Amino acid sequence: MRILKILSVLFLLHALKYSYAQEDKHYEQVVRGVVVDKQTQMPLPGAHVVLTGSDPLAATATNPEGEFRLTNVPLGRQRLVVSSIGYHNRQINNLIIHSARETVLFIEMEEKVETTQEVVVIGNYRKDQAMNKMASVSARAFTVEEAARYAGSREDVARMAMNFAGVSGANDQRNDIIIRGNTPGGILWQLEDVDIPNPNHFAASGTTGGPVGMLNNNTLRNSDFFSGAFPAEYTNVFSGVFDLKMRDGNNEKYELLGQAGFNGFELGAEGPLKKGSRSSFLVNYRYSTLKVFELLGINFGTSGVPYYQDLNFKVNVPFKKGKLTWFGLAGKSSISMLDSEDNETDMYTEEGMDLKTGSSLFVSGLKYAWFHNEKTYSRFVLSYIGQNGFTDLDQFDPGEEPEPFYREDNTETRLTFKYILNTKFSRQLSARSGFTVNRFGYNLNVKTWEEYDDKSYKLDNRKPVTEGPALYSGYSQLVYKFSDRFEIKPGLSFLWFGLNDKISVEPRLGINWKTGYRTSLNFGYGKHSKAQTMATYFMETIYNDGSVELTNSNLGFTGAHHWVLGFDALLSDHLRLKTETYYQYLYDVPVEALPSSYSVLNAGSSWGLNTRDLLINEGEGRNYGVEFTLEKFYHNDYYFLTTLSLFDSKYTGSDGKERNTAFNGNFVANALVGKEIRVKENAALVFDAKVVWAGGKRYTPIDLEASRNDEGNFNTVYKDELAYSKQFPDYFKADIKIGFRLNGKKVSQLWEFYIENITHHKNPINQLYSKSKDQIETVYQLGFFPMLNYRIYF
């Protein structure tokens, strides 16, 4: 901690030195990009692009390929207005122009339905609405600038989403997100139309989060987040969706990025594959900061030093009637938390336990977009995914050598082909359809040692990807606009799992009605379902006679019905009020065959393999609530975002008793605010702050006597019949961030200083039984925590 304080002082002195040493110089940059039709993705020639507030007025028009270029654009925050005959105007606000980096935009325009009379439509970029026009409710577009701006987000899109209504975090150490009381295992991550299992370091089997995200914010472009009643194209999901897109690299100029901060040391590069070819590449590599410090002999006093590295890349090659894209994501991580080395108890292991854990992920995909004509395009996607997670857990008596207790080493692979067809039949009617074929491979191994010498195998199954089970899905969805004020979006999806021939047919419906100049009512319904994890399907049951049976292989999908009703109001051009109320009924939830409190709906609330054997689809759950958002869009150099979520989340296990889910905090309130102060023409100070107040984490009380008598395994024993009946005190956390942005002639720099949990509020996350102290101890989350970040463009 002392080292961080010293570095913080040096950071502030360094920033002040630059602010006074640099002359107040006038630098300019290029803003360029392409303008396309939202539905067909075809370029729009002749569209007008205007840089507002410029003197003299800077404006241009797109060429036959829909491309535009504005030169001599001043640095700092700028605003563009794009217009085209027959289309709604599009405003691009708060573009941050760097001196050492061109700004390259991809702008989608929505066609008007009514052309015979003037229709006043708010053309501002609406973050409350998804970029995907098939969405109707519970959807929000977000910018990469928001992920970098929000205090406490650590430039992580998952942590950024925790600020949205209906979303809460599981704990400070991981970015698992809880949507409307659902398990984080119900979330779908999608990157460039490819479903990815868990794009985070230190990923555990069946989870969707981790301490550090692999997706690098420097490689992403504006994307969508959904919290319920999703469009038909999103299948095998019942909780929420991240639909992420990677930006194209600069196809005219080579640019470099360097960054050093708590998340890691990074180096990025982009540019044309060949000058004049319009093709491009984009690549970013990161290595963990704390591991570098350990190699340099600097000790931060943590119970384990996290090691991780990751790589994001994208290659883009345009053709006359299409575009070929090759993209990928890879990373690996590991950490050791050894109680045998006299480290303090951490939140993942009990006293007398040594933990070694890690994970790796490889995703690679080829995507070809083929433009049939001005109304229709297709996308073909072929991808391969491989993910591994391992956990080694040893136990020991004081003064004794650690002995094996638990081993988990699971590898899952997937080969996927996806086809998408999008057609705009008229100004009023458009459709999107597609299908996906997934083939799974796996190598699943779990071993336990009981009483040190009695070995028991619980899971040992493997198949190559060419022989594993298949999951087929398909969908079709229409958008019919009766006018610019009223539209409906019916759709239908299906899932078929080849392992046991389970089928799910899922109707979807969305309705949007602009009731006034600045108000709208929105409704959404969807039936959604999700297959279980491979580890669940192939969990072995070992009987007393030594026989083995896969008792979970016939499990069906976990199903959910979503109903959502929302109201939106633009109180002014830059102030929005949004509220939604929802009800979600979950059915066919896997629970244990024998009466117990276990349910898959609580998966992700604790560390380890979140599955059991002898499961049946007889559990239920329900989530309902109301959400409020009041947001001031970034204007006049400041913004704010406030959200309030009130909800209730219940489930029923095989014992027939209704309980709170592990994620039923009942309420979450967020308040964020930010201000930018320009100190010179080429420099600015940035201030951001965040406060979150939420209901405490649910937990199961410890059975003290049983824990004392558990001599063999040293496990804390919980009272199963009282599962999640207790709740910790309310969660409270305040974060701040101070940044300094400086533009030189050929170099742009950014210094940032963070403090998370500035009040040092103690937020409990777990309770464990301490055998040496013979008492129950509470484990707390992150305390006062300063961080630094430095970024340079050149």
DSSP state of 348: S
With a pLDDT cut of 90, the percent of the chain lying above it is 50
Q: Is residue 311 part of a domain?
A: yes
Read off the pLDDT of each residue in 710-734 and give the average, rounded to a whole number: 85
User: Is 396:354 a contact under the CB 8 Å cutoff?
Assistant: yes
| CA atoms within 13 Å, Cβ hemisphere of 63 | 7
Q: What is the mean pLDDT of residues 603-608?
A: 76
Number of structural domains found in the chain: 1
Question: Residue range 742-748: average pLDDT?
Answer: 85
End-to-end Cα spacing for the chain: 32
Comparing 23-32, 279-288, 405-414, 779-788, which segment has the lowest mean pLDDT? Answer: 23-32
- Position 13 confidence tier, pLDDT thresholds 50, 70, 90: very low
In this prediction, residues 668-680 reach a mean pLDDT of: 93
User: Which has the closest alpha carbon to 624: 669, 670, 580, 668?
Assistant: 580
Give the residue-averaged pLDDT of 98-117.
79
Residue 285 to residue 218: CA distance in whole angstroms = 10
Q: How confident is the model at residue 454 (pLDDT cuts 50, 70, 90)?
A: very low
pLDDT tens-digit map of 307-347: 899 999 999 999 988 999 999 999 999 888 776 665 554 55
Choice between 300 and 481, residue whose per-residue pLDDT is larger:
481
SS3 for 97?
Answer: strand
The predicted structure's pLDDT at residue 232: 96
The four Cα atoms 722, 725, 729, 732 give a dihedral, to 10 degrees, of 120
617-661 confidence digits (pLDDT tens): 999 999 999 999 999 988 888 999 999 999 999 999 999 999 999
439 part of a folded domain = yes
pLDDT of 450 over the 50 cut: yes
60 located within any domain: no
Please choose, from the candidates 604, 715, 732, 591, the residue with its C-alpha nearest in 3D space to the C-alpha of residue 653.
591
Q: What is the CATH number of the domain that holds 604?
A: 2.40.170.20
Q: Name residue 573's amino acid.
A: D
**Res. 88 pLDDT band, cuts 50 70 90:** confident
71 in a structural domain: no
Instruction: Print the domain residue range for 755.
Output: 145-793
Residue 267 within any structural domain of the chain: yes
Q: What is the DSSP letter of 693?
A: E
What pLDDT is attached to residue 293?
Answer: 67
Asked if residue 36 belongs to a domain, the reply is no
pTM: 0.88
Q: In this structure, is residue 320 part of a structural domain? A: yes
Instruction: Note the pLDDT tens digit of each residue in 225-241.
Output: 999 999 999 999 999 99
Specify if 104 maps to a domain. Answer: no
| pLDDT at res. 8 | 46
Is 263 in contact with 154 (CB distance < 8 Å)?
A: yes
Closest CA to 137 of 241, 224, 229, 233: 229
Amino acid at 335: I
Helix (H) or strand (E) run with residue 706 in it: helix 704-709
12 pLDDT more than 50: no
Most confident of 51-55, 377-381, 751-755: 377-381
Pairing state between β 764-770 and 748-756:
unpaired
d(Cα 680, Cα 659) in Å, to the nearest integer? 58
Cα dihedral 678, 683, 685, 686 sign: positive
The candidate with the shortest Cα–Cα distance to 294, out of 3, 632, 647, is 3
d(CA 92, CA 794): 25
Mean of per-residue pLDDT scores for the chain: 86
What percentage of residues in the chain have a pLDDT greater than 70? 88
The pLDDT of residue 503 is 97
Of 144-153, 252-261, 299-308, minimum mean pLDDT range: 299-308
